[in-house]
Chains A and B, each alone.
Chain A
Amino acid sequence: MNHNPVFPVFPVFPVFPVFPARPSSPHLFMTAQAPLLSPEHIAMIDKGVSAIVASRNAANRPSLMRAVGAGISADGTEITVYLSRSQSRQLLQDVAATGHVAVVFSEPLSHRTVQVKAKAAQLRAADDSDLPLLRRYLASMEREVACVGFDAVFVRAMLACRLEDTVAIRFAPSQAFDQTPGPRAGSALPAS
Chain B
Amino acid sequence: MSAAPSLPAIRACFEGAIPAMMATCAEDGTPNVAYISQVYYVDERHVALSFQFFNKTRQNILVNPHGAVLVMDPVTAAFYRLQMRYLRTETEGPLFEGMKAQLAGIASYSGMAGVFRLLGSDVYEVETIERLEGECLPAPPRPGLLAGVRRAAERQAACGATDELLQAALAALNDHLDIRHAMVLMLDAAAQRLYTVASCGYATSGVGSEIEMGHGVIGMAARERTPVRISHMTNAAAYSHAVRCSLRESQPDLALETEIPFPGLAEPHSQLAVPILSTGRLLGVLFVESAQDMRFGFEDEDALVAIAGHLGAALNLLHTAAEPAAPEEPAESSAPSASGAPLAVRHYLANNSVFVGDSYLIKGVAGAILGKLLREHTRQGRSDFTNRELRLDPALRLPDLSDNLEARLVLLQRRLAENCTNIRIEKTGRGRFRLRLERPIALEEIPS
Query: Could you list which residues of chain A lie within 8 angstroms of chain B, going by C-beta atoms?
Result: 52-56, 60-66, 84, 86-87, 98, 100-104, 106, 109-113, 115, 117, 148-150, 153-154, 156-158, 160, 177, 179-186
| A56-B31, A102-B32, A181-B246 known; A66+B25 contact, CB < 8 A | no
**Bound-state Cα–Cα, A52 to B17, Å:** 17
**How many residues of chain B have a CB within 8 Å of chain A?**
49
11 other A-B residue contacts (CB within 8 Å) besides A62-B32, A181-B243: A52-B70, A53-B33, A64-B68, A86-B132, A103-B33, A104-B35, A150-B74, A154-B77, A157-B136, A160-B134, A177-B56
**Bound-state Cα–Cα, A92 to B64, Å:** 21
Within 8 A of A (CB), among B222-279: 232, 234-235, 238-239, 242-243, 246-247, 250, 269
Let me know if A101 and B135 touch, CB within 8 A: no
Whether, in the assembled complex, B111 has its beta carbon less than 8 Å from a beta carbon of chain A, the answer is no
Let me know if A66 and B79 touch, CB within 8 A: yes
Let me know if A157 and B137 touch, CB within 8 A: yes
**Bound-state Cα–Cα, A102 to B25, Å:** 10
Query: Could you list which residues of chain B lie within 8 angstroms of chain A, going by C-beta atoms?
Result: 17-18, 21-25, 27, 29-35, 37, 53, 55-56, 64, 66-68, 70, 72, 74, 76-77, 79, 81, 83, 132-137, 232, 234-235, 238-239, 242-243, 246-247, 250, 269, 293
Partner of B133, one of A86, A117, A156, A184: A86
Query: Given the complex, which residues of A lie within 8 Å of B269, measured CB to CB?
Result: 149
Output the residue of A53, A98, A148 with the most chain B CB within 10 A: A148
Let me know if B29 and A102 touch, CB within 8 A: no
Query: Given the complex, which residues of B lie within 8 Å of A60, measured CB to CB?
Result: 25, 27, 29, 64, 66
| A52-B70, A53-B33 known; A64+B21 contact, CB < 8 A | yes
Let me know if A149 and B293 touch, CB within 8 A: yes
| A60-B64, A64-B81, A184-B250 known; A148+B135 contact, CB < 8 A | no
Let me know if A111 and B242 touch, CB within 8 A: yes
Let me know if A183 and B53 touch, CB within 8 A: yes
Let me know if A54 and B250 touch, CB within 8 A: no
Let me know if A64 and B77 touch, CB within 8 A: no
Smallest distance from the beta carbon of B15 to chain A beta carbons, Å?
A: 13
Let me know if B32 and A182 touch, CB within 8 A: no
Let me know if B235 and A149 touch, CB within 8 A: yes
**Bound-state Cα–Cα, A101 to B30, Å:** 8
Let me know if A181 and B242 touch, CB within 8 A: yes
| A63-B68, A158-B77 known; A181+B23 contact, CB < 8 A | no
Residue of A nearest to B130 (CB): A90
**Bound-state Cα–Cα, A12 to B81, Å:** 34
Let me know if A111 and B55 touch, CB within 8 A: no
Let me know if A182 and B246 touch, CB within 8 A: yes
**Bound-state Cα–Cα, A180 to B244, Å:** 11
Query: Given the complex, which residues of B lie within 8 Å of A109, measured CB to CB?
Result: 238
Query: Given the complex, which residues of B lie within 8 Å of A110, measured CB to CB?
Result: 238, 242
Output the residue of A109, A110, A111, A181 with the most chain B CB within 10 A: A181
